[in-house]
Amino acid sequence: MDEKNFIATWIQSLNSESIKSFPKDFNVVGECKIYKLPQKGLLIGKEFFGEFELLDAEGLEVLRVDSYEKAKFIIYANKNKPDSVCVPHNNSTIKEINIKYEMYLDSIIKRIDHDYRKKISGLKNFAAVLDQIFKHLNLRRMK
């Protein structure tokens, strides 16, 4: 199997198993604050005096939040570019939900890696293959 077919097979497989939706499928509990979003892709910008900016693709600031975990939460929740997102007030809840989602993404990465090692000779392109699969599915795994 070549890498192009491998990528297509994994995209089809993950689409058919219905990828979990963040944050809906990760049991958000407690009171939330609603943040309005521009229905565009977002990036985490720089930290300014303890606040992290969220930028659109043109580099324009969309909003600022008071923690990196909250910024990640909003980025993850922005997968389908909603007009708003409900973010828990409790920072430990935000971190816990982020960790659960990242563990879920890591499990997908492990499955793809295991299959890649079995089906493709030479491991030099795994990062590029994984990147293409995640881009097509609009998934992001942040540090």
Residue-wise pLDDT for 76-106, tens only, equals 999 999 999 999 999 999 999 999 999 999 9
Counting the structural domains of the chain, the total is: 1
42 domain-assigned: yes
C-alpha to C-alpha distances, 83 to 67, 76, 94, nearest whole angstrom: 21, 14, 20
Return the pLDDT at 53: 96
- Residue 2 to residues 6, 77, 114, 119, 129, Cα–Cα distance (Å): 6, 33, 16, 8, 11
Q: What is the pTM of this model?
A: 0.91
For residue 71, being part of any structural domain is answered with yes
pLDDT, residue 138, reads 92
Phi, psi of 138 (to 5 degrees): 55, 45
Over residues 45-55, the mean pLDDT reads 94
Instruction: Report if residue 143 sits inside a domain.
Output: no
Side-chain-facing half-sphere of 34: CA atoms under 13 Å:
4
Residue 108 makes CB contacts below 8 A (sequence gap 6+) with 14, 139
Is the residue at 142 inside a domain? no
Is 110 part of a structural domain of the chain? yes
User: Which residues span the domain enclosing 72?
Assistant: 3-137
Kindly tell me if the per-residue pLDDT of 122 is higher than 80.
Answer: no
Q: Examine residue 118 and state whether it is found in any structural domain, yes or no.
A: yes
Res 123: pLDDT:
63
